[in-house]
Chains A and B, each alone.
Chain A
């Protein structure tokens, strides 16, 4: 297998306005993010010869990437839309990297946006997202998206003695990061007590254990490592990537407490020649607090079952030894559905450019990003770095 290590780089990154963004629909936000990312990369839209997108729930189009190319009047030779839930962003990045290495495209834009807040009613938004459940054998029982993840949380608590306080600490840490991010949707500091006192949604998950419902979009520009040095910003290199796909429906998962983040991270670490201890920050998929706890374990930051105590002792907030979700994550920055991890990606690019302002992690040279889609189903781990080798 050809290693992608150091072969491609991210040379442009931009977020649209996020949070509650009335006035622009999902496709307009997507176009906005693309134009901003091109301007960040210092290139003209005509230089883009690859475009990858993900369809939106609020304004779906049958051939989304093709429609976006048409909208922008770009005429790529490589163009497709993909869908793997929250894992889409990083699995697409994996595909884009191989497309650049094999010469299918030279400059690829990855862009996604959705308007779950302004483009859908709250009920439509919840129903659309919960349709990830099996239509015959799960959905009839009325599981909401929080309920699916509550099943994982409850199993972890029963097996390892994890406490609601441990989950709450994750929400508190993400909020502490968001306080430093003027673009974040939720910026008022919260405490563990606030989380535990917030309304119960699906035991053991409280309202503040659940991610936001947002509008927003983001885009990045990727090219080969050779070309990357000609762009205005310092390139951010892909050092490792791996995927793991274990199930789609939670009732078919091999384990409720260990995910395919184990497999995806093993591949990413092996490609990068790095391990969890080498990471100065981690952006971990946080649609609900328990996912971060499981990911910390499966990605090797601590032993299986010790995620709770690890969070308490090491710290994942701005002052912790392992800052997690330095932009505020899906819990506090924004969560427009499938594009969610795009914001972890753009944030990581800024962290590794050393342009993250108040949120800058000191001496950030290498960071790990992890996304999952479905219900802990499809996993992709990325390792990004300031240096190609």
Chain B
């Protein structure tokens, strides 16, 4: 059984295309320079409609996390870490923290993005500990 697949459609296509290319892309407002996630048809800071995309650093910090011991579906192998990541550019996103012992994860710890295959055609951003604050 596979993990839940996001539907790639509309504005989010640009984001998911970036993931497949190994780049974390965020929406950027040309009017007020705010950077936002998830993608919207307007800037949530200034309500401007003139948006493009920038490549994010892929660095961030853990805002919160949990170790899931009882999986959502058979597609997920326990234990796995679900976390909220505050990206260096500002936006917060949900993701998984991978390739580490769960005991090493704390609120505030530094992480960096890596990309993980979710299907034959789609990769999603997940995070590893970066040993930086």
Contact = CB atoms under 8 A, between A and B. Distances in A.
Given A137-B93, A142-B68, A123 B73 contact: yes
A203 B67 contact: yes
Contacts of A126: 72
B114 interface: no
Most interface-central of A137, A199, A201, A205 (chain B CB within 10 A): A137
A151 to B, nearest CB: 4
Contacts of B94: 133-134, 137-138, 141, 143, 250-251
Contacts of B75: 142
Interface string B92-133: 111110000010001110000000001000001010000000
Interface string B58-70: 0000011111111
Interface size class for chain A? 35 or more
Contacts of A351: none
Contacts of A151: 64-66, 82-84
Interface size class for chain B? 35 or more
Contacts, number: 106
Interface in A230-270: 250-252, 256
B12 A142 contact: no
A136 interface: yes
Interface of B: 3-7, 12, 37-38, 63-73, 75-76, 80, 82-84, 92-96, 102, 106-108, 118, 124, 126
Given A142-B3, A256-B84, A136 B38 contact: yes
Interface of A: 123, 126-127, 130, 133-144, 146-147, 150-152, 154-155, 158, 199-205, 250-252, 256
B70 A144 contact: yes
Nearest to B92: A251
A142 B66 contact: no
B72 A144 contact: yes
B63 A143 contact: no
Given A127-B73, A147-B66, A203-B69, A142 B84 contact: no
B82 A143 contact: yes
Given A141-B124, A154-B64, A203-B102, 17 more contacts: A134-B94, A138-B94, A139-B4, A141-B82, A142-B3, A142-B72, A142-B75, A142-B82, A151-B84, A154-B65, A154-B66, A158-B64, A158-B106, A158-B107, A202-B66, A202-B70, A203-B66
